[in-house]
Structures are given as C-alpha cells and as structure tokens.
C-alpha cells in the first residue's frame, strides 16, 4: 500500500517537494552535515531514494551509490534522469527486503522521512538486520520526522484542529494523504531511534532540520514570502546546531556509527 501511494506521487514529487522553497532549504540544511562525511572510500546505500536528487548529488563525492526505493515509479523517475552517470545504480526494493545491499555498504542514508513509512515492527527488523550484517565502522545517516514539531502544533491549533496538532504523539500509524492516495506514517523521536539501534552504535550527531523553516505543506503560504523564509533559514543555521532542536523541528538528522 505504501509503495503504491508513492507511485501516484512520483511525477509531481520534484515539483511539490524537491524544488519547492521549503523542501529546497531543508535539503540544503541536511547537506551541511552530510557532505563533509563523504569521501571516495564510501559506498552509499540509499534507502527510500525517491526521485533520486540526493543520489546524483552524493555520487560526486563517494565511490558509488546504490539507491533503492519501494516505489517502481519513483525509481522510474531516477532512471529518466540517469543519462550517463557513473558509479550509480537504482533498484526497486523495499527496506524490509534489503539484505546483501546492507552487507555491501559502509554508509546507509535515508532522507526525508522514508523511515517514517516503517511500522515499529519493521523498523525493529531493519535495525536487527543492521546489528547482525552491517560492517563495523559503517555509518547510518537518517533524516526523520520527529514527534513535537512546533510549527505543526501551532498551525493546526490555529486552524482549529487540535487533534491534528498532536497527531505526531500517537504511537499508532497515522493515515496520511498525498495526491489523493493514502498511506501510513509513524513518527519517531531521536531517543526512540537510538533505542532501536542500541547495541554497538555510537551516536555522532543529532540536530533539527526545519525548526523555523516550516513543514512543506506550508509551501503555498510561503510561496511569495521569500524574505521571511530566508530569515527563518538564517535562524535555523544558528539554532539547529543544537541537539535539543531535533525534538521540535519538522525533521531531524541522526548519525550513528557501528562500533561493534
Ligand atoms: C518523503 S519520500 C522521500 C524521498 C527522498 N528520500 C527525498 O529525500 O526526497 C519517501 C520515500 O520513501 C519511499 N518508501 C516508502 N516506504 C518504503 C519502504 N518500505 N521501503 C523503501 N522505500 C519506501 C517512498 O516510495 C518515497 O519515495
């Protein structure tokens, strides 16, 4: 069901999110931390790669990228862009079925909420697989939607929808609609992610992405408020250096290294 929903969104995804004002600023904020970690020794496994924007960026800095996604239509968009890029390949494969790919990488990357598409059971199974077959010293770099996004709480309260304002607190999956298709979203705090990856990992970094810069569903409101967005982006550059922002931002970065 999840993959089919994203199939219906694949053609519009870049316009609606990747190249939208909010999506673009949040992605650049991720790169501020991600790109300095990359070098030509790194073989990236990107899970939930979407339309492949990151894969084509990252491959400039690393040895190779294998980018995977559960949605065949998302991978189709990647292949359309993949004219002659070297050391990059794409595969339709859900996170739940990755095995050899995990064995053969030293850097697993998940951007913008792909892991929020996994239930706690599936996330536990994925972390267990990483515990057993992932190479020592491999990095995990995840960008996830947290539970206490301040923007979301304020926005839906002001809109008179107090239930939606606290939807991220739910332990159950939340029904979400994109482009008319329904899928389920689970929200996870940084502490919950650390608890999934307890044995043998060192937490290298945790920080917010989109504390002042709002969630992307506010793109229409900010479309003609570029100066305000620029100001918010400047504030994020100052404040999102701090770990506490991870709890209150739209997304957060968590970077772990396997040490055992
Ligand atoms: C919000 S998009 C993020 C896409 C991309 N990483 C980005 O930065 O724009 C979430 C992606 O997760 C993919 N996805 C959802 N469930 C998945 C699963 N179980 N395994 C792999 N990919 C999944 C969707 O197809 C979609 O491409």
Residues flanking ligand 1, CB < 6 Å: 2-3, 6, 18, 47-50, 54, 69-71, 74, 94-96, 111-114, 117-118
- pLDDT tens-place string over residues 106-133: 999 999 999 999 999 999 999 999 999 9
Structure tokens at 97: 């079925």
Contact 120, 185 (CB under 8 A): no
- Please tell me the distance between residue 47's alpha carbon and the centre of ligand 1 in angstroms: 7
Question: CB-based contacts of 110: which residues, under 8 Å, 6+ apart?
Answer: 46, 47, 48, 141, 142, 143, 144
- Indicate the helix (H) or strand (E) that contains 204: strand 201-209
Q: Which domains does the chain have, with CATH numbers?
A: 2-147+187-258 (3.40.50.150)
Alpha-carbon distance 146 to 116, whole Å? 9
- Indicate the helix (H) or strand (E) that contains 11: helix 2-13
pTM, two decimal places: 0.97
- Indicate the helix (H) or strand (E) that contains 91: strand 88-92
Provide the 10 A C-beta neighbour count for residue 71: 24
pLDDT given at position 1: 57
Mean pLDDT by 10 residues, the chain (260 residues): 82 95 98 98 98 97 98 96 87 97 98 97 96 96 98 97 96 88 93 93 97 96 95 98 98 96
């Amino acid at each position: 069901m999840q993959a089919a929903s994203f199939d219906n969104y694949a053609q519009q995804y870049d316009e609606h999110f990747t190249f939208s004002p909010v999506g673009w600023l949040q992605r650049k904020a991720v790169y501020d931390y991600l790109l300095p970690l990359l070098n030509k020794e790194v073989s990236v496994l990107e899970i939930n790669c979407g339309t492949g924007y990151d894969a084509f960026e990252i491959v400039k800095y690393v040895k190779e990228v294998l980018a995977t996604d559960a949605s065949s239509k998302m991978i189709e968009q990647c292949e359309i862009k993949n004219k002659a890029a070297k050391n990059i390949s794409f595969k339709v494969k859900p996170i739940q079925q990755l095995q050899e790919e995990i064995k053969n990488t030293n850097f697993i990357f998940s951007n913008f909420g792909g892991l929020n598409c996994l239930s706690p059971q599936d996330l536990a199974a994925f972390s267990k697989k990483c515990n057993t077959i992932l190479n020592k010293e491999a990095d995990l770099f995840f960008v996830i939607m947290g539970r206490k996004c301040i923007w979301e709480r304020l926005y839906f309260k002001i809109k008179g929808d107090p239930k939606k304002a606290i939807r991220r607190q739910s332990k159950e999956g939340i029904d979400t609609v994109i482009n008319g298709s329904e899928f389920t979203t689970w929200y996870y705090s940084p502490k919950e992610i650390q608890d999934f990856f307890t044995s043998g990992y060192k937490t290298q970094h945790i920080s917010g992405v989109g504390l002042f810069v709002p969630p992307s569903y506010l793109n229409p409101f900010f479309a003609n408020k570029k100066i305000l967005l620029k100001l918010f982006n400047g504030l994020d550059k100052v404040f999102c250096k701090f770990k506490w922002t991870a709890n209150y931002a739209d997304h957060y970065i968590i970077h772990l290294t396997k040490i055992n």
